[in-house]
A and B are shown apart, each in its own frame.
Chain A
Amino acid sequence: MTPNPVLEITDLDKSFGALTATKNVSFRVLPGEIHALIGPNGAGKTTLVQQIYGALAPDRGHIHLMGRDITALSIPERVRAGIGRSFQISNVLMDFTILENAIIAEQARRGDSFRFVYPAFSDASLIAGAYHILERVGLADQADRPVQDLAHGDRRMLELALALATAPSVLLLDEPMAGTGPQDSRRMADIIDQLRGQVAILLIEHDMDVVFRLADRISVLVEGAIIATGTAEEISGNDAVKAAYLGGEG
């Protein structure tokens, strides 16, 4: 008997005019697992993530988070329900320092951002919470650096930290290694590896080495439909996947 899924997608459909971007998609992300979503370009990975996140409404189907139907919720409601997200293009607060980014995330999680008097950036308990967030991705020692001055890899780390800051039950990571060099990619992979068991992760990633190293299970999306779900071994041995996806690479 499998444990209750953290995230359960059921019969999801989405089309844009004549183009079907999501075709009857169903899959589950289990507690603590790293579940990779792979597929060739244009397979509809980002469209699917957008529907889970709440930026796009599906035409049909349901999304359950910890058994609760979140299909009709707005983005902030889903975040508070437990969905964390990192974006394909770095999405951090560019006009602030690393620490300030984390402080804003920390006060958002606590749900008390509607306060008008006491200065946020010198609040000892917010600062403590923010350092706790930054330690998880190894940015605590450069907390005072402005985000503007950061290298791309560090911005990706910060984005991951901000996604973790909302204390999500499932983390949607949309190509977290996109645009990073080999060293930063390894650093990111190590951090994601350490998160295994702490939080369920849905990982969208192109780099097959990373996927096979990290993923507990893999779902393969081709032309909007999931053609296979299984462990790395099952997927690499799957004929349909080879034909549709891996076949293209050699």
Chain B
Amino acid sequence: MLGYLVDLMRLSRDGIRDNRLLWLLIAGFALFPIFTHFADLPFWNDVAMRIMLLGMAAMGLNLVLGYGGMVSFGHAAFIGIGAYCVGISQFYGITNGWAHLLFSLVACGAAGLVIGYLALRTSGIYFIMITLAFAQMLFFLFVSLETYGGDDGMSIDRAAFGVVDLYDPLRLYFLTWICLALVGLALMFIVRSRFGVTLRAIKSNESRVEAMGLVPLRFKITGYVISAVICGLAGALFASWQEYVSPDIMHWTRSGELMIIIILGGLATLAGPLLGAIVFLLLEEMLPWLLGVVAPAYAENWMILFGPILIMVVMFGRGGLVGLLDRWWAADKAGRSVR
């Protein structure tokens, strides 16, 4: 096991800084509650929680979108399925939180398998449309299910996680943090494994992978299922945290949000989705406040600034924020070695 880790660390030329950044960010989330405690800013724990959950979902989508080159525009559906699995099992009197999580992961794996199996027969724009169609179908299914609250959604009693009593919101924070770290660890292994490099090879050139005697569809479906399960985990934690779930959680704009986060942070990087989620949600929090100070009349129109910032990062930061940092670090190093 230690040997594996050592191998991972002295890995490929591009991977080391990305790896470090990911663990730096994850470590930051572990220490953040200490900061909010002493700064007396408990509200920011909620922001951090949202960032971790959205970041986790984006990390899941990135396996498919970034590493696999499959532009899925329907991953909010898996967040929704994960969340509703918690709500529905509560509804039928199952109060054990571990059971909820298990139920969510299995349901999302199954949904990912079915949707992936059907949608991955297409590619390009058709794949985008089919994944969106499946997500919309599920969205309207939950809108129409009056038993589970329909449009209004359903409230959920806080689940019991056995010894981990979640009455204290910080405990749920740390359960989420552990899940985030596990997802990060799993993805770090997966993208460099034989499976992971084959998935990246398929993105690079599917017909060459076929000419090597492999069936690309199998790898793509497997990647799709893994990413669906990760999104489902984020959804389940989100529902437990909010103690509420409604179809809103799987609105198609959330699928778009996840894609923006990934592109902002850096496609096919480990740290990108998490960094993207941090910047995306911080901008969402800060811009209205900033405009409120500078030009109060426009405070509600903060999106006017938000859009151009996103466009600038995408246009000028090839490889997103991680790409920018990477080039900056590389230049810094080069400059120092010259001196």
Which residues of chain A have a CB within 8 Å of any CB of chain B?
A: 74-76, 79-80, 84-85, 87, 91-96, 100, 103-105, 107-109, 112-123, 162-163, 165-166
Chain B contact residue count (CB 8 A cutoff): 32
| Contact assessment for B212 and A166 in the assembled complex, using a CB-CB cutoff below 8 Å | yes
> Is B161 close to A, CB under 8 A?
no
| Contact assessment for B189 and A116 in the assembled complex, using a CB-CB cutoff below 8 Å | yes
Please, which residues of chain B bring their CB within 8 A of the CB of A118?
A: 4, 7, 193-194
Please, which residues of chain A bring their CB within 8 A of the CB of B211?
A: 75, 79, 84-85, 87, 91, 162-163, 166
| Contact assessment for A91 and B205 in the assembled complex, using a CB-CB cutoff below 8 Å | yes
| Contact assessment for B194 and A162 in the assembled complex, using a CB-CB cutoff below 8 Å | no
| Contact assessment for A96 and B192 in the assembled complex, using a CB-CB cutoff below 8 Å | no
Please, which residues of chain A bring their CB within 8 A of the CB of B8?
A: 119
Question: Which of B192, B200, B214, B219 has most chain A Cβ within 10 Å?
Answer: B214
> Is B215 close to A, CB under 8 A?
yes
| Cβ of B157 to closest chain A Cβ, rounded Å | 36
Chain B residue at minimal CB-CB distance from A168: B213
Contact of B205 among A85, A92, A117 (CB under 8 A): A92
CA of A62 to CA of B219, assembled, Å: 31
| Contact assessment for B192 and A121 in the assembled complex, using a CB-CB cutoff below 8 Å | yes
User: Secondary structure of the A side of the interface?
Assistant: mixed
| Cβ of B66 to closest chain A Cβ, rounded Å | 12
| Cβ of A3 to closest chain B Cβ, rounded Å | 26
| Contact assessment for A93 and B201 in the assembled complex, using a CB-CB cutoff below 8 Å | yes
| Contact assessment for B212 and A116 in the assembled complex, using a CB-CB cutoff below 8 Å | no
| Contact assessment for B212 and A105 in the assembled complex, using a CB-CB cutoff below 8 Å | yes
| Contact assessment for A120 and B192 in the assembled complex, using a CB-CB cutoff below 8 Å | yes
Please, which residues of chain B bring their CB within 8 A of the CB of A165?
A: 212
Nearest 4 interchain pairs by C-beta: A79-B213, A108-B212, A119-B192, A95-B204
> Is B196 close to A, CB under 8 A?
yes
> Is B21 close to A, CB under 8 A?
no
Please, which residues of chain A bring their CB within 8 A of the CB of B219?
A: 113-114
Please, which residues of chain A bring their CB within 8 A of the CB of B195?
A: 113-116
Please, which residues of chain B bring their CB within 8 A of the CB of A108?
A: 198, 209, 212-214
CA of A118 to CA of B191, assembled, Å: 10
| Contact assessment for B208 and A91 in the assembled complex, using a CB-CB cutoff below 8 Å | yes
Please, which residues of chain A bring their CB within 8 A of the CB of B198?
A: 104, 107-108, 113
CA of A116 to CA of B211, assembled, Å: 22
> Is B190 close to A, CB under 8 A?
yes
Please, which residues of chain B bring their CB within 8 A of the CB of A122?
A: 7, 10-11
Question: Which of A104, A107, A163 has most chain B Cβ within 10 Å?
Answer: A104
> Is B210 close to A, CB under 8 A?
yes
| Contact assessment for A117 and B212 in the assembled complex, using a CB-CB cutoff below 8 Å | no
| Contact assessment for B207 and A117 in the assembled complex, using a CB-CB cutoff below 8 Å | no
Q: In chain B between 83 and 127, which residues have their CB closer than 8 angstroms to a CB of chain A?
A: none
> Is B147 close to A, CB under 8 A?
no
| Contact assessment for B193 and A104 in the assembled complex, using a CB-CB cutoff below 8 Å | no
